Amino acid sequence: MSKVNILHLSDLHFGTENGTTSMLRREERLNGLIQHIYYMSASNSGLKPDIVVVSGDIGWSGQYSDYEIAGSWLDSLLTRLGLQKEDLLLCPGNHDIDRGTAEFSYHIRTAEEAKKHLSIENIHYRIPPFKAFIDFCKEFGICQPMSTS
């Protein structure tokens, strides 16, 4: 059995920048992370990532501008590691939702409620708040099984 190295990132929160100074500080830290990961993977230590998983909160507020910043950084990361977009797995988190279009604030209490609330028939309620995330994935070249129309 061969091993697979996974670079797991979470809570990147692109879009939290509120000024030039904080933007530069964030850029410095994230570019430093890319450099560190690159040096680790280039050192023949067997730590080169085969895939990158970002498990939620890519953006801060589910706005298109969050994903413009994220796309640029993810491109840099993948390029530096010699990976392709097919080697990237993104999962939305609670900050990837546009709260201005979210129509639900529902606490699921039972398995039956979960089955009904998360069914394919009711999924259209979940798509509009994640539209910026879904559109970003499509534009970034990551296949999406769902339609946003």
Tens digits of per-residue pLDDT, 117-141?
666 566 555 667 788 888 898 888 8
Question: What confidence tier does 146 reach under pLDDT thresholds 50, 70, 90?
Answer: very low
Structure tokens at 7: 């670079």
Scanning the structure block, which residue is given the tokens 């690159």?
38
d(CA 69, CA 23): 10
Torsion angle of C-alpha atoms 123, 129, 130, 136, degrees rounded to 10: 140
Per residue in 7-54, pLDDT tens? 999 999 998 877 666 778 888 888 898 999 888 888 877 888 999 999
Q: What is the mean pLDDT of residues 90-112?
A: 78
Kindly state the percentage of the chain with pLDDT values over 70. 81
Q: What is the pLDDT of residue 43?
A: 81
SS3 7: strand
d(CA 27, CA 24): 5
59's CB contacts (< 8 A; 6+ apart) are 13, 14, 15, 66, 67, 70, 95, 96, 132, 133
Q: What is the pLDDT of residue 47?
A: 84
What structural domains does the chain harbor?
6-140 (3.60.21)
Amino acid at 74: L
Contact 105, 94 (CB under 8 A): no
d(CA 111, CA 119): 12
CA distances to 45, 80, 85, 91 from 49, in Å = 11, 11, 13, 18
Contact 61, 99 (CB under 8 A): yes
Average per-residue pLDDT for the chain: 82
Amino acid at 13: H
